[in-house]
Amino acid sequence: MDKISVLGCGRWGSFIAWYLAVRKGKQVWSWGPQGDYAYEVLKNTGKNEYVALDKSITLTSDLEAAVARAELLVISISSQGLRGFIRKVLACRGAKTKPVVLCMKGIEAETGKRLSQICAEEGVPPENIAVWVGPGHIQDFTAGIPNCMVIDSSNVALKKQLADDFKSELIRFYYGNDVIGTEIGAAAKNVMGIAAGILDGGGVSTLKGPLMSRGAREVARLIEALGGNGLSAYGLAHLGDYETTLFSRHSHNRMYGEMLVKGQKFEKLAEGVMTAAAMKKLGRDTGVELPITEAVYDVCFAEHPQSVEEWKNLCMDRIAQLFSRDTKFEF
């Protein structure tokens, strides 16, 4: 599959287009909607803050053409907009016959559905769906710093084909073996990233150790309740991504949490906010206790008092409740 359309030209979409064209020599179309900020920046300047648009990449706002020309579709947009967007994609000629790779992390807040579930519900054949997740920041990749990622699918042949085809010295791919765990773990790490940012902003970064261990256990319980393998929480999609989410200055979710507790506004997308809402719903539906998730949800959706100091105290009091619960066995 040498002809690939990357649908979405924001932070990750533009990087994927760059990676597949420059590092893998694919024929790449990069799509974004007319008038969208990310698309207009690439159109007018040929670059964004992350990558330069290589001359071999065709930038377009014509979704019909982008879908028709490709053998493979990679989607990288905001997760909460996937359902409406996949409907538009499937209305394009030949879309239902083409593999779809979801390079995005999230859970639909309204329904608690995983992203691959949404695609299947809207008409993408399940055997044509794969997910691409795992640790790594674009700033590191473009600087030549390598990392490892995961491609998962219920279609074993498809995930092996993609992982083998996309691997390079920059990104080593592993085959995932639990789509439920891979997707839930990847989405949930953004919630833990917000929690880490709250700890940083509140001056208690030392508590990120307990956050890492208890957070992974919390996510494992949810994965198991949803029919996945709890061990997936300790793989690359979740625990393996903690370094780039809980500690990195590049992490949107960690920075969102840090600025939130300081009463400042973060202007970029932090997927963990709506994922916290989705996970809270899943916890309620499955009967799984998710104390860290619920604390993050409470802070993200609480009303702000006028005083910054009052707000910081409110945030830290909610987080402190996690560490004043009844003593329990660790496992």
Do the beta carbons of residue 64 and residue 5 sit within 8 Å? no
Do the beta carbons of residue 54 and residue 26 sit within 8 Å? no
* Cβ neighbours for 299, distance < 8 A, ≥ 6 positions apart: 194, 198, 260, 261, 314, 315, 318, 319
- State how far the Cα of 315 lies from the Cα of 288, in Å rounded to an integer: 23
- State how far the Cα of 4 lies from the Cα of 8, in Å rounded to an integer: 13
Cα angle at 52 between 81 and 272, to 5 degrees?
30
Q: Looking at this protein, which amino acid is placed at residue 47? A: K
Distance of CA 237 to the CA centre of its chain: 10
Tokens of 271: 């997927």
Residue found by looking up tokens 């905001």 in the block = 78
- State how far the Cα of 239 lies from the Cα of 258, in Å rounded to an integer: 20
- State how far the Cα of 4 lies from the Cα of 18, in Å rounded to an integer: 12
Residue positions annotated with a catalytic role:
189
